[in-house]
Amino acid sequence: MPARLATTVLLARVLAGLLAFAAAGPVAAQHELTGELPPVGAARRELVVVAGATGRSGRLIIAQLRSAGRYELRALARDPRAAAREIGAEYSWVAADVTQPETLASALDGATYVISAIGARERSGPDGPEFVDFGGVRNLVDAARSAGVRQFVLISSAGAGGEGGFNRWLLNLIGGDVLTWKARGEAALRASGLPYTIVRPGGLRDVPGGQAGLLLLQGDRKSGDVSRADVASVVIATLGNPDATGKTFELITDPAVPREAWRSQFRRLAPDVASR
């Protein structure tokens, strides 16, 4: 083959290779936590960050999220090694403490959604309601706003929006004004400007979910209980759901309601107003 022709063929092959490389797009970056490469051509999944992931409700939330496989998941824990050992190394655990705001910026980096399942472990002190149910929520909200989170879902409690009554008085007495501080946490979220959903479950039960119907109510006037597993299912269903955004609702079990009827109840809920 003449030298000029051989050179032409070589240049054509190089050019074809460059064009193919450009058409393939940028090389996928490794996942910042797992180091794994996503499948070629796969779109990046939306990232859900779960605060309170080591709690009884939080564990069910991350288990259901992982099982669904729809979202990328990041679980927050004060001690990620202990969490991986006790709950599961299959989760992406990241060190964070909601009472220490300086730990939250990197933990929420890149998040699409934040779910807060945090709750006070003590009646008073640094792990009490003032510093967790109010201060911790406020710190999370501030970090989520800075991170550009698309939606913040807060698990609060039935009774947090009540005007009074014996049950609210008793729970506040036993829990160090827990409902009062949860109400202030709710208010901080509403005032943040973030798209949000606030779920107020009734008395939490450690029983399997999906065993009875659920009611989504507003006005905080009816008491009841609910499975933690059902709370997890409802919380996950609010993610990216415009019918659930900007709304606060109570969640209780009602055996008279069809089991899956709750999925159509978001639409009829009224948006929050300043006084709620």
pLDDT digits (tens, 9 = 90+) for 141-198: 999 999 999 999 999 999 998 766 777 878 788 888 999 999 999 999 999 999 999 9
Residue 6 lies in a domain: no
Please count the structural domains in the chain: 1
For 13, phi and psi rounded to 5 degrees? -65, -40
Domain that holds residue 199: 44-268
Q: How confident is the model at residue 205 (pLDDT cuts 50, 70, 90)?
A: very high
pTM for the model = 0.83
247-262: average pLDDT:
96
Q: Is residue 191 part of a domain?
A: yes
CATH number at residue 206: 3.40.50.720
Would residue 63 count as lying in a domain?
yes
Provide CB contacts within 8 A for 231, sequence distance 6+.
57, 60, 155, 199, 201, 204, 251
Q: Is 243 a member of any domain? A: yes
User: Is there a domain that residue 168 lies in?
Assistant: yes
pLDDT tens sequence across 133-142? 999 999 999 9
- 3-class DSSP assignment, residue 163: coil
What pLDDT digit, counting tens, does each position of 46-88 carry?
Answer: 999 999 999 999 999 999 999 999 999 999 999 999 999 999 9
Q: 234: Cβ–Cβ under 8 A, 6 or more apart, which residues?
A: 199, 214, 216, 251, 262
pLDDT surpassing 50 at residue 37: no
**Tens digit of pLDDT for each residue in 90-126?**
999 999 999 999 999 999 999 999 999 999 999 999 9
Residue 262 has pLDDT above 80, yes or no: yes
Identity at 220, one-letter amino acid code: D
Q: For the beta carbon of residue 268, count every other beta carbon within 10 angstroms.
A: 9
* Residue at 57 is within a domain: yes
Q: Which of 13-17, 23-27, 250-254 has the lowest mean pLDDT?
A: 23-27
pLDDT at 272: 96
